[in-house]
Amino acid sequence: MKTTKIFADRNLIVGKVQPTLYGSFIEHLGRAVYEGIYEPGHPTADQDGFRGDVISLIQELNVPIVRYPGGNFVSGYDWRDGIGPKEKRPVRLDLAWHTTEPNEFGTDEFMKWCKKTGITPMMAVNMGTGSVKDAAQLVEYCNHAGGTTISDYRRANGSEEPYNVKYWCIGNEMDGPWQIGHLTADEYGKKALEAAKVMRWTNGETEKEAAGERLKLIVTGSSSHEMKTFPEWDRIVLEHTYKQIDYLSMHRYYEYDEESDHPLEDFLGAADDMSEYIKTLKATIEYVRAKVRSKKQVHISFDEWNIWTQSAERTEPLWKRAPHLLEDVYTFRDMLVFAGLMNTLLNNCDIVHVACLAQLVNVIAPIMTEKGGRAFRQTIFYPFKYLSNTARGETVRTFSDSDTFENQYGKARYLNEAVNFDPETRTLVVSLCNYAQEKRGVELELRSFGELKAKEYVEMTSSDLGAVNGFGAENVAPHEKDLPAVKDGSRVSLVLPPMSWSYLRFQA
């Protein structure tokens, strides 16, 4: 059996994990909103129609921030359609997903849902068919106290107090030809700069000060590093907007492709590939920061990431309300890659300050529901749950002598790890993926954390890489292991099953 040595030292800190690293995303797409978070008449729904069973599962995931209302949807969306008396709201064609949008759920309902769940809203404005004025007026609707026609609409619609929304995405995937109102980098950069400026003014901010909290503004970066325009798109957009914004967004979905030469290796290479992608954008940010002579540090908002079988065919007809779209049922294999992606986010937490698992319910999501009925946890639910609940401190740099395998992106490590230490609770968390098809020994050398006591050890393993969960059948779930011995307070020897994810928690 091969053994990999992994070394981590308390003093070698990558960065603090921002709580917003564990964000997620709800789009008006398929059954994410309707039959997902919102289903009046469902046995667990409250008086506002919010599904209680779904809220409980989201709370289990401990998601602190949710991006809304899209996604591609936002680029054709007029936020005014989603406010006011429900019976008067227009029913529209959604050209992003070719569905019918009833607008029964809109900004006020989302804010109410956020308040109920304790989740921070992260709003996106329309930079496709929408104007700078539309974006600024949505800020006014959400954040202005009152006394103007637009802010008084909000008050009339039931919210006397402003929502004080802080996080704003200026558009979505504007580099993609599939986007409604797609722009060139130069066009988008100019428009985003104006939107940012005017949104800040509307929020009562001057260059130096703000009436309330300053907005956290996110410009649209590349939709993936496979875009022909990557990374020029990012450079150009940043050059236009650097001084006005706080984050550059990035998106990436990975897919298991049976047609590829080495399907398994090519899929398992995702975590290390995502790391390279982040590093390129980090370097792009640094380049632009030097070029525009700014002392400010722009961070990354990785506001769409997940596994998504994009090649799956659509089976639902056009223009249906809340159709079953993008309802990927995640396999054990998907979970393995997903856990590696989480490790990558943790290992890059110095630059990635916001990340949104896309999405949260029904649409490429960890939670699935049936209309009027049950909900279940997908395989990917678990790594998110364990890490989101405990890996909240500082990521510590690791050194590993793992061997590597070839894949479509280059080389990737068989042993993929992340180590996180919370100095407040003195909790040390280790997340380990074994991508080898044989069991592997691991020697953890965890120095200078103090005397460690093992508190929790869970493992996800399966003889069937294609195993999935379903309603009443959550077969793919972590199981508890006997706690490992800690030698000399800091050394731990483990044996990881082939193709597995392991999670360990220690108290220092």
Cα gap 368→253, rounded to integer Å: 19
Contact pick of 4, 20, 24, 72 for ligand AHR (by CB under 6 A): 72
Cα gap 402→7, rounded to integer Å: 11
Which stretch in 49-57, 68-76, 410-418, 489-497 sits in contact with ligand AHR by CB under 6 A? 68-76
Q: Phi/psi at 236 (nearest 5 deg)? A: -65, -45
What residues between 300 and 339 interact with ligand AHR by CB under 6 A? 304
CA 226 distance to own-chain centroid: 19
**Residue 27 or residue 417: which is nearer to ligand AHR going by CB?**
27
Catalytic residue among 27, 35, 39, 173: 173
In angstroms, give the least distance from the CB of 251 to ligand AHR: 6
Cα gap 64→355, rounded to integer Å: 11
What residues between 426 and 455 interact with ligand AHR by CB under 6 A? none
**Residue 252 or residue 413: which is nearer to ligand AHR going by CB?**
252
- DSSP, res 214: P
Residue nearest to ligand AHR (CB): 71
Is residue 249 a contact point for ligand AHR (CB under 6 A)? no
In angstroms, give the least distance from the CB of 253 to ligand AHR: 7
Is residue 70 a contact point for ligand AHR (CB under 6 A)? yes
Active site residue 304: yes
Please count the residues of this chain forming the interface with ligand AHR, following the rule CB under 6 A: 9
Is residue 358 a contact point for ligand AHR (CB under 6 A)? yes
Is residue 359 a contact point for ligand AHR (CB under 6 A)? yes
Catalytic residue among 35, 304, 394, 459: 304
In angstroms, give the least distance from the CB of 25 to ligand AHR: 7
**Residue 308 or residue 503: which is nearer to ligand AHR going by CB?**
308
- The region that residue 181 occupies, defined by phi over 0 for left and psi between -120 and 50 for alpha, beta otherwise, is left
In angstroms, give the least distance from the CB of 307 to ligand AHR: 12
* DSSP per-residue codes, 15-37: EEPPGGGGEEE--SSTTSTBTTT
Q: In angstroms, what CA-CA distances link 396 with 6, 347, 381?
A: 12, 8, 24
Active site residue 173: yes
Omega before 69 within 30 of 0, i.e. cis:
yes
With 0-12 / 13-18 / 19 or more C-beta atoms within 10 angstroms meaning exposed / middle / buried, residue 428 is: buried
Omega before 423 within 30 of 0, i.e. cis:
no
Q: In angstroms, what CA-CA distances link 449 with 388, 427, 469?
A: 21, 10, 38
Cα gap 32→437, rounded to integer Å: 36
Cα gap 368→215, rounded to integer Å: 33
Q: Are 366 and 312 in contact (CB under 8 A)?
A: no
**Residue 68 or residue 386: which is nearer to ligand AHR going by CB?**
68
In angstroms, give the least distance from the CB of 69 to ligand AHR: 10
Contact pick of 173, 194, 234, 246 for ligand AHR (by CB under 6 A): 173
In angstroms, give the least distance from the CB of 74 to ligand AHR: 8
Cα gap 427→302, rounded to integer Å: 26
In angstroms, give the least distance from the CB of 320 to ligand AHR: 17
Is residue 367 a contact point for ligand AHR (CB under 6 A)? no
What residues between 11 and 50 interact with ligand AHR by CB under 6 A? 27
Residues lying near ligand AHR in the complex (CB under 6 A) are found at: 27, 70-72, 172-173, 304, 358-359
Catalytic residues: 173, 304
